[in-house]
Amino acid sequence: MSCPLLLGLAGDKLDGDADFSTGDRPDADALVADLFGLNVRGAKTLAHLVTQPAKVFASARVNDWQGRYTPTMRLAFSVLTVFSLLSFFWAAEDGVLYQTLLDIFSEGFAEQPNAPPVNEFISAMFVGYNFIYPFTYMLVHSLVGSLVLVWGTGTPWVARIRLYFGVAALGIAISVLSIAAMPFISTNMMWVWTTLALAVGFLAFIFTYARGMRGRRSKWGLLWRAVLLASIVTITDFIVAIIAGTSAGYWAELRIA
């Protein structure tokens, strides 16, 4: 009787083996999908949200996305993963965000005799924030997205969440691009750069909704709904940041206490 392990080492085909000669061989795109759930189709989805949002919105109303696009919730979480991986840009000790927070916290910590070293607190807070933020983002935005009624009468809650994340994912992508530029931003320009990124994100929300829903509403109806949605997404972003930041602060206190 042959040993299955030896058969495998010898190259003999075992029961259940895939026939890679028929196109079953996994490629690099499959590996990226295994890691992040984001593949070429995900990049296409993000690109079409910019260039052809109406097509993505139409697919979001179909159970299988017409086999054309990556589900927008997965897309959003994948981009959040990239955000976390880029923490060496926005959480580095010589980075502009770290130095800005160091200036803010230093005075308060100096007045507390039993306060931990401020640099240790900030580093621990960044670690906590990096872990907490993606899950907080997905949970809070999912709840809000299910309640936003700007997609047309009769749109089910699942489709509402899909459409909502189609808009919100662009904001995350803009955040990733903005933090990639952090090493080139001075401390004095930190708030200007942040405000600019928020403004670009707000406009992206407006134009994505208006172009994606064109023909379903009057121009005025599209405009006020687009502004409303952009405001909701932006305010929810602030709420998520506050929740994640506060939780990360408590976590840092517990860790270095």
Could you tell me if residue 202 is inside a domain? yes
Residue 137 lies in a domain: yes
Residue 32 falls inside a structural domain: no
Tokens of 46: 């993000």
Query: How far is the C-alpha of 224 from the C-alpha of 206, rounded, in Å?
Result: 9
What's the domain count of the chain? 1
Low-confidence ranges of the chain (pLDDT < 50): 2, 4-11, 14-20, 22
Please tell me the predicted confidence (pLDDT) of residue 76. Answer: 92
75-94: pLDDT as tens digits: 999 889 888 887 776 767 77
Determine the pLDDT at residue 51. 94
Are 245 and 132 spatial neighbours (Cβ–Cβ below 8 Å)?
no
Whether 195 is in a domain gets the answer yes
How much is the pLDDT for 25?
61
212 falls within a domain: yes
Write the pLDDT tens digit of every residue in 117-167.
Answer: 888 888 888 889 989 999 999 999 999 999 999 998 889 999 999 999 999
Burial class (CB in 10 A: 0-12, 13-18, 19+), 95: buried
Which pLDDT score, from 0 to 100, does residue 182 have?
A: 75
In a domain, 192, yes or no: yes
Q: 33 lies in a domain?
A: no
State the residue for tokens 């933090």: 179
| b/e map 56-93, b = 16+ CB within 10 Å | bbebbbeeebeeebbbbbbbbbbbbebbeebeebbbee
Domain that residue 244 falls in: 39-256
H or E segment to which residue 195 belongs: helix 190-212
pLDDT of residue 36: 52
Residue from 32, 126, 124 nearest 88 by CA: 126
Does residue 196 sit within a domain?
yes
Structure confidence at residue 145 (pLDDT): 96
